[in-house]
Amino acid sequence: MPDTAPPGTQTLARGLAVIRAVAGGAGGATDLRTLVERTGLGRSTAHRLVQLLVSEGYLRSGRDGYALGPTLIELGFQALHGSPLPVVARPVLEELAEQLRDTVHLAVRDGDSVLYLDKLPGSRGAEMRSRIGHRMPLTRTGVGMALLLDSAPEWRDLYLAETPVEPGRVHPEDLDAFLARMREYAESGVAMDLEDNEPGIRCVAAPIRDATGAIAGAVSVSATRPYMPAARMRGLNRVVGRAARQVSAGLGHREP
């Protein structure tokens, strides 16, 4: 529970905390006891908030416990389609997926993470764990690194923050290698996930720019290792970069 809510908004803040606790992915709160533990609310307060949220459709309560409700799905789709990026990008993504038969992603940066806005699954290889609305680390994903190409001052801190805290896990040479890769990607305008995020999964990604020239999103093509050898990844640089420029042009970006 945040303790910095403006005066008069504590009830709203508590309700939002309940929704976030239930939305906690595979580890979301599905019963009242867990909800109380996650939010720090009193049992009676949490129960009243859950009843209201269920009645308004923000949550649902069933045999498997609490889950996000249909109102959030409706609002989520409205928010998704309220942005021009998914609408402009969709035809380009479909063309890429049909041409390559690989998984195609569209993502944006949301705070210190990647947020997936669209996904077209490939027709070969294993299914990937990414999904629309899912978040991933910036420095471990192709789209994340593409989103960071203009943000060199952040590279070091983000890499260290997203590296699992284990004794001896982060070595200077690991950080140096990552920074060297990012400099190379920034120069070429295309980033690569070399199984950094998911074993056996590789991808090529490129940033999408808006009318101001700022990075507004990223597009990627992903496949399992047998379908994504190093030579093919190099060949996809031009294909994915061209797709990203097409979407950028639809957002009003003009190449210098």
pLDDT, tens digit, 9 for 90 and up, residues 202-241: 999 999 999 889 999 999 999 999 999 999 999 999 999 9
Domain boundaries, the chain: 10-74, 83-250
Cα–Cα distance between 154 and 117 in angstroms, integer? Answer: 23
**Minimum mean pLDDT range among 63-67, 81-85, 186-190:** 81-85
Q: Measuring CA to CA, which residue among 100, 183, 88 is closest to residue 145? A: 183
* Terminal C-alpha separation, the chain: 47
Amino acid (1-letter code) at residue 147:
L
Average pLDDT of the chain is 87
Q: Which one, of 119, 149, 124, 142, lies nearest residue 209 by Cα? A: 149
Minimum mean pLDDT among 6-10, 75-79, 109-113: which range? 75-79
Classify residue 129 as left (phi > 0), alpha (psi -120 to 50) or beta.
Answer: alpha
**CATH of segment(s) 10-74:** 1.10.10.10
Least Cα distance to 202 among 116, 125, 119, 98 occurs for: 125
Segment 168-176 mean pLDDT: 68
Q: Does residue 125 register a pLDDT over 70?
A: no
Q: Are 213 and 253 in contact (CB under 8 A)?
A: yes
Is 3.40.50.2300 the CATH classification of the domain at 83-250?
no
Share of the chain above pLDDT 90, in %: 52
Contact 201, 193 (CB under 8 A): yes
Lowest mean pLDDT among 17-31, 32-46, 104-118: 17-31
40 torsion bin: left (phi>0), alpha (psi -120 to 50), beta (else): left
Contact 217, 175 (CB under 8 A): no
Rounded CA-CA distance 153/108 in Å is 19
Between residues 250 and 185, the one the model is more confident about: 185
Is pLDDT at 97 greater than 60 in this prediction? yes
Specify which residues 136 forms β-bridges with.
114
| Paired strand residues for 202 | 194, 223
pLDDT at 219: 97
Tell me the range of 52-61, 70-79, 116-125 where mean pLDDT is highest. 52-61
Q: Is residue 1 scored above 70 in pLDDT?
A: no
